[in-house]
Chains A and B, each alone.
Chain A
Amino acid sequence: MQRAIRALVRKTFGKNHSMKTEASVITMSVCVGFLVVVMVYLSSLLIYYAGREKQVDYAENLIVVNPPESWRQFTVEYQDIFYENVAGESSMMVYREWDAVYDVFTFNEWMDDYDAFLTIVFPTDFDEYVMKKNVTELPEILTYYPSDHPEYATIQKNFCDEVLAENYLAFIQEKTGVPIEYTSVVESRVTPVGKMSSWKQVIFDRGSRLIVPLLFFVAILYVCMLSGMNAIAGEKERGTFAALLMTPVSRWTIVLGNYIGVFLHALIPSAVMLLPVAIFAKFTGFISAFFLVISLALFISAITILISCLNHSIVSAQTTFLPIFLIILVICVTCMQEATRNPVNPYLPIYGHFYGIGDGLMNTVSPLPVLVCILGTLILTGICLFVSERVLHKESFTVAVETKSERELRKAARALEKQKKDYVSVSRAEVFGYKAKRRKSLPAFLLGHAMLPLALLSLFQPFAMIPAIISYMKSPASNGFIRMFKDISNVSALSDVMDASVKLFSGFMQDKYFILFMGLGYWCIIGIYIAIVKFREKNPLRTLGFASFATSEKADPDNTEGLLPAKQGPAWKAYLRGILLGFILISSVYVLLLFTGQVQCRGFSLEKDSVILFLLYILMWIPQGATEEIMMRGYMMPRVASRFGLPFAIFFSSMCFSLMHAGNAGFSILALINLALIAAFFAVFAYRSGHIWTVCAMHTMWNFCQGNFFGLEVSGNPGSASILSSTYPDGARDLLTGGAFGPEGGLCVTIVIVLAFVILLLSGKRKTAKV
């Protein structure tokens, strides 16, 4: 048996084991990418620390924001208590004024600048409020502390318990003579403000706790995957495994021989990396790290052998292993966060390995968790090997069974028959010359189409909001908004929060950066759609509705439904036509509103200050209109039409478009219908013209004129930086004007769009008659 095992081990080091597959290349790139991200993160930390001039162990000072008079008196009178519980002799108290009491960004900066360990924030009207004789509840006092030393949290707690809750409260009661209940002091943690002793120490600490364990993991995982999958699954794939099974060696021998081979492979990188560890770590630390690495290699090798036994080819084995690989990496990432380190984790395999290796390097190792972790790992390893051996007794995992049952054959024949009739072979309707190439299951198809626009918008819009949110947090207006979250548990408070959020978002519409980044985000989305069509579908851009006009001429004779051929001309002419049509459409709505007395025009209103915002708006509406058209009409409509026919495609894309706006302020049933009508109008228009250039421009112009020309709301978002100023007089009725949603929520738009629709359909018929 020993001889056979030796032979098998040697075999794992044979030439076949350098074989690389697609899956292993992907995994390799994932590993490298992962390491790069971690490195970038760490180097950003290092730059942060290295750039700091102060190298003080602990922060010393205290910041008090909006200090009320009573506080100043208190600190003078009760100096002893104050310094005993909170600060040292050399501490300094810094007084600052700031209206936005939840502005963590500013407090963070201050604590950094003043070298402070605590920030106490009073509401601006604290004293006036407290001095009201009938007050029984103290207003909220906020405390912020940096999170890099656990001691700061203790100080903060001490401060809240001893100073604020007891002495300061008593002090105020004494002054006002009314018993006051101390209820709410919000504990806020500010991250990341760090004050480590020296940045060299930071490098060493982070390096040995994060990087080194991670390197061990990645190296062992990768090497085990390569050699483990080649060992048995590779033999099966090459057809050489049966020869092995025919020899008189037992299944145990086969499993053990391959297992030891894989393990030895894993030891090579481990040994290389353990050498530097031996130099830096102390003896006990090194020993524990050594055994942890060995047990990790044993465990991962056993997993790979088990997976190898279960699969018939290298790629399938690697694909099976990939989720395990990623789960282990995710565990590593969670281990990298201090916050997740709980008392149980170090005893568990994988977690324990990650912590243990880092602890070993930093010489802070505790033997019990390491021992328990290694023992657990060995048991798991044994189980894996046992199952592997059992698996090799099963025919289905050893000899490839090629005989298919008749039922399977019939099933395959039926599927083929079905394929001949399905949408990829026979397109239900061809829009923009699109023909489906790939099959997708029905739920995946519909969900994919419905979710893609949502996913992209919700990816890019939050990015655009970041600068706006930060500047909002720095304004006092944010205080009220954040307070609302305190009693969010009851329903009415929740709806308040929702309303306030919607209002807040409307406020962002006046933020220059928000508009700018929104515009950039829309360009990105357009880019993504183009990439999807070009590189994933491998279709020409014409199928996205961007007909170059040579092709659209060609496409028109195929227009079997007898709809009008597009007015020919270069793309920019089509776009200009869209601008004009869009202007006519929205102006008709405005004129209708004006004549029915639902809106009053107050004349020109664009001020000098808002010229830049106005220009940014124009730059934003151009990609915005185009993006929504590309999503709904350019991409979704042809693809849905090819599977379900044109009517359903128009209905589906219009409903998607309409529902996408459901979260906007003032959304109503009428708004839903109107938006769907507008969408359907654009859809039919785009379908007839054979491209989306014109509707892109129409959409852009429609939104721009509503918001920045007439000064009305655009789908629930208030217009700003508008050329004209419009107001609703007292007699205006929401049914006509659409209320907070803007004209799109009112009957006037319904009338105009229905009229436009009728004209579009009639003009189509007339032209066909000519053709």
Chain B
Amino acid sequence: MIQVQHVSKRYNKSALVVKDVSFEVKEGQIFGLLGPNGAGKTTLMQMIATLLTPTEGSVTICGLESKKSPQLIRRSIGFLTTEIKLDPLSTPDQLFDFFAELYDIPKELIPEKKKESFERFGIGPFADKRIMELSTGMKQKISIVISLIHDPKVIIFDEPTNGLDILTSRQVMDYLLELKALGRSVLLSTHIFSVAEQLCDEIAILVDGTIVEQGSAPELTEKTESKNFEEAFFKLYTKYHKEG
């Protein structure tokens, strides 16, 4: 579903933030990008989500090249990132309506869809409160609902459990597994090992903008001869990260 080929990114005149990254996410797969802060995860995700254009290389989603038809790609992806915020003065209800119109969802389907997804995440009682009055967890849930409003085939979540308590994290992770069962492809970035270990079918370790190792969690543990996945990550990190 997602093919990333030799993608690099450079902002203005700075050094390369993402260097020659290639991987593929298959249908019904949860693919994890694991790396420390500043490894280039968000930049990579934004390039896949068509917000940024790669300096080199290409991204193909559902057979469409991102540079050529970004608008069509946006119809089939759901993108969630901490950078994208919700209008603090609007209510979840208003936001849902607004984005439903932008995604051109038939009018008659909107109320039903809204009810369904609000119930799924327990947003219902807060539907008429303003975003600024809601908790971080609730905001994140609303963001998820809105980013998936058009039922996309490809889901790109940048640090979806960041800043959430265990209960809410659990809810989000369960939901991702549900989506996987429905045959959706999920690209996930995180710096939390447990999330990566439990959810992902395949994990790419990103250090300083390059993928240094790729495979499932047990594979990676085995390859690096570590006791557990966490140790595997540290070994890889110390091996590839250059100081300064």
A249 and B147 CA atoms in complex are apart in Å by: 14
How far apart are A554's CB and chain B's nearest CB, in angstroms? 51
Which residues A308-337 have CB closer than 8 A to chain B?
none
Tell me the A241-255 residues at the B interface (CB within 8 Å): 242-250
Report B-chain residues with C-beta under 8 Å of the C-beta of A3: 101, 104
User: At the interface, yes or no: B182 with Cβ under 8 Å from chain A?
Assistant: no
- CB < 8 Å neighbour of B104 from A4, A10, A243: A4
Complex-state Cα separation, A10 to B100, whole angstroms: 14
Chain A 470-486 near chain B by CB (<8 Å), digits 1 or 0: 00000000000000000
Q: For the complex, is B12 an interface residue (Cβ under 8 Å from A)? A: yes
Asked whether, in the complex, the Cβ of A239 is within 8 Å of the Cβ of B84, the reply is yes
Contact, CB under 8 Å: A406 / B86: no
What 1/0 mask marks residues of chain A from 373 to 405 whose CB sits below 8 Å from any chain B CB?
000000000000000000000011011110111
A10, A240, A249: the one contacting B87 at CB < 8 Å is A240
Q: CB distance A6 to B87 under 8 Å?
A: no
- Residues in A whose Cβ lies below 8 Å from that of B163: none
Question: Given the complex of chains A and B, what is the CA–CA distance between A6 and B84 in angstroms?
Answer: 22
A399-B46, A405-B15 known; A7+B85 contact, CB < 8 A: no
The stretch that binds A, out of B48-56, B115-123, B232-240, is: B48-56
A4-B87 Cα distance, complex, nearest whole Å: 17
- Judged by a CB distance under 8 angstroms, whether B102 is at the interface is yes
Whether B90 sits at the interface, judged by CB under 8 Å, is yes
Interface check A149, CB cutoff 8 A? no
A interface footprint on B214-234 (CB within 8 Å = 1, 0 otherwise): 000000000000000000000
Counting CB contacts under 8 A, is B64 at the interface? no
Taking a contact as CB atoms under 8 Å apart, the answer to whether B84 and A243 are in contact is yes
In the assembled complex, A661 has its CB within 8 A of some CB on chain B:
no
Given contact pairs A395-B52, A401-B12, A246 touches B84 in the complex (Cβ within 8 A): yes
- Interface-facing stretch out of A11-19, A140-148, A685-693: A11-19
Min Cβ gap A444→B in Å is 29
How far apart sit A762 and B187, CA to CA, in the bound complex (Å)? 85
Q: CB-CB < 8 A to A395: which residues of B? A: 51-53
The reply to whether A239 and B90 contact each other, CB–CB distance below 8 Å, is no
A15 to B104 alpha-carbon distance, docked (Å): 23
A407 to B12: give the CA distance in the assembly, Å.
Answer: 12
Asked whether A96 is an interface residue with its Cβ less than 8 Å from the other chain, the reply is: no
The answer to whether the Cβ of A534 comes within 8 Å of any Cβ in the partner chain is no
Instruction: Give Cα A246–Cα B77 distance, bound, in whole angstroms.
Output: 9
Contact A246–B17 (Cβ < 8 Å): no
Nearest CB of chain B from residue A471's CB, rounded to whole Å: 64
In the complex, A238 has a CB within 8 A of chain B? yes
A14 vs B87: C-alpha distance when bound (angstroms): 10
Q: In the complex, which residues of chain A have a beta carbon less than 8 angstroms from the beta carbon of B43?
A: 403
User: B14 touches which one: A16, A238, A243, A404 (CB < 8 A)?
Assistant: A404
B175 close to A (CB within 8 Å): no
Residue B242 is within 8 A (CB to CB) of chain A in the complex: no
A251–chain B nearest beta-carbon distance, Å: 9
Interface string of B78-100 (1 = CB under 8 A from A): 01010111111110001000110
B11 at the A interface (CB under 8 A): yes
CB distance from B105 to the nearest CB of A (A): 10
Please tell me if the beta carbons of B84 and A15 are within 8 angstroms of each other in the complex: no
| A239-B83 contact in complex given A11-B98, A398-B51, A399-B46, C-beta closer than 8 Å | yes
CA distance A207 to B147 in the complex (A): 55
Cα separation A250 to B69 with both chains bound (whole Å): 11
Quick check: is B135 within 8 A (CB to CB) of the other chain? no
**A16-B88 Cα distance, complex, nearest whole Å:** 8
CA distance A249 to B70 in the complex (A): 10
Residue from the set B46, B52, B74, B101 with the largest chain A CB neighbour count within 10 Å: B101
A247 and B51 contact, CB distance less than 8 A: no
In the complex, A60 Cα to B72 Cα: how many Å? 81
Does B75 interact with chain A (Cβ within 8 Å)?
yes
| B205 interfacial by beta-carbon distance below 8 Å | no
- Cross-chain contact A4 with B14 (CB below 8 angstroms): no
Write the A394-429 contact mask toward B (1 if CB under 8 angstroms, else 0): 011011110111110000000000000000000000
**Which residues of A have CB within 8 Å of B193?**
none
Nearest CB in chain A to that of B75: its residue: A248
The digit string for A74-112, where 1 denotes a CB below 8 A from any CB of B, is 000000000000000000000000000000000000000
Indicate with 1 or 0, residue by residue over A111-150, a CB within 8 angstroms of chain B CB atoms: 0000000000000000000000000000000000000000
Query: Within 8 Å CB of A14, what residues of B?
Result: 87, 89-90, 94
User: What chain A residues lie within 8 Å of B94 (beta carbons)?
Assistant: 14
Indicate whether A247 sits within 8 Å of B14 (C-beta atoms), given known contacts A14-B89, A398-B51, A399-B52.
no
The answer to the question of B13 belonging to the interface, with a C-beta cut-off of 8 Å to chain A, is yes
Interface range on chain A (Cβ under 8 Å from partner): 20 to 34
| Complex interface: chain A residues within 8 A of B88 (CB) | 16, 238
Bound-state Cα–Cα, A249 to B71, Å: 7
If the complex has contacts A16-B89, A243-B146, A250-B71, are A403 and B102 also in contact, measured as CB distance less than 8 A? no
A243 and B101 contact, Cβ closer than 8 Å, known pairs A248-B71, A399-B52, A401-B12 = no
A4–B51 touching, CB < 8 Å: no
With most chain B CB atoms within 10 A of its CB, the pick from A8, A242, A396 is: A242
Find out whether the CB atom of A403 lies under 8 angstroms from the CB atom of B51.
Answer: no
Q: How far is the CA of A239 from the CA of B83 in the complex (A)?
A: 7
Task: Specify the chain A residue showing the minimal Cβ separation from B85.
Answer: A239
Task: Name A4's contact: one of B53, B81, B102, B147 (CB within 8 Å).
Answer: B102
Given that A399-B51, A399-B52, A406-B15 are contacting pairs, would A243 and B74 also be in contact in the complex, using a CB cutoff of 8 Å? no
Q: Are B85 and A240 in contact (CB under 8 A)?
A: yes
- Which residues, 229 to 284 on A, are CB-close (under 8 Å) to B? 238-240, 242-250
Closest to B88 in A: A238
Cross-chain contact A247 with B87 (CB below 8 angstroms): no
Report A766 CB to chain B, min CB distance, Å.
62
**B52 contacts across to A, CB distance below 8 A:** 395, 399
Q: Is the CB of A246 within 8 A of B101?
A: no
> Is the Cβ of A247 less than 8 Å from the Cβ of B99?
yes
Q: Kindly state the separation between the CA atoms of A143 and B86 in the bound complex, as whole angstroms.
A: 73
User: Do the beta carbons of A247 and B89 come within 8 Å of each other?
Assistant: no
Residues of chain B within 8 A (CB-CB) of A247 are 74, 99, 102-103
Task: Decide: B13 and A242 in contact? CB cutoff 8 A.
Answer: no
Distance to closest chain A CB from B37 (angstroms): 12
Judging by beta carbons under 8 Å apart, are A403 and B146 in contact?
no
Pick the contact of B103: A15, A248, A401 (CB < 8 A). Answer: A248
How would residues 564 to 596 of chain A score, 1 for a CB under 8 Å from any chain B CB and 0 otherwise?
000000000000000000000000000000000
A15 CA to B98 CA in the complex, in Å?
Answer: 14
Judge whether A401 and B11 touch: CB under 8 Å: yes
- In the complex, which residue of chain B has the Cβ closest to the Cβ of A6? B101
Q: Across the two chains, which residue of chain A brings its CB closest to B78?
A: A246
Establish whether residues A242 and B83, one from each chain, have CB atoms under 8 Å apart when the complex forms: yes
Residues of B within 8 A of A239 (CB): 83-85
Are A246 and B87 interface neighbours, CB within 8 A? no
Docked-complex contact B86 and A240, CB < 8 angstroms? yes
Once bound together, how far apart are the Cα atoms of A245 and B77, in whole Å? 12
Task: Determine how close the nearest CB of chain A comes to the CB of B235; give it in whole angstroms.
Answer: 27
Q: Are A15 and B90 in touch, CB under 8 angstroms?
A: yes
A238 touches B85 (CB 8 A): yes
- The answer to whether B84 and A240 have CB atoms under 8 Å apart is yes
Q: In the complex, which residue of chain B has the Cβ closest to the Cβ of A11?
A: B98
How close is B107's CB to chain A, nearest CB, in angstroms?
Answer: 9
- Chain B residues with Cβ under 8 A from A16's Cβ? 87-90
A503 to chain B, nearest CB (A): 64
Measured CB to CB, the residues of A under 8 A from B are 3-4, 6-8, 10-11, 14-16, 238-240, 242-250, 395-396, 398-401, 403-407
6 pairs across A/B with beta carbons < 8 Å?
Answer: A7-B98, A16-B90, A240-B85, A246-B79, A246-B147, A406-B14
Extra inter-chain contacts (9) besides given A11-B98, A248-B74, A403-B43, CB under 8 Å: A3-B101, A240-B86, A242-B81, A243-B85, A247-B74, A248-B72, A399-B46, A399-B83, A401-B11
3 smallest CB-CB distances across A and B, nearest first, come from A239-B85, A405-B14, A7-B101
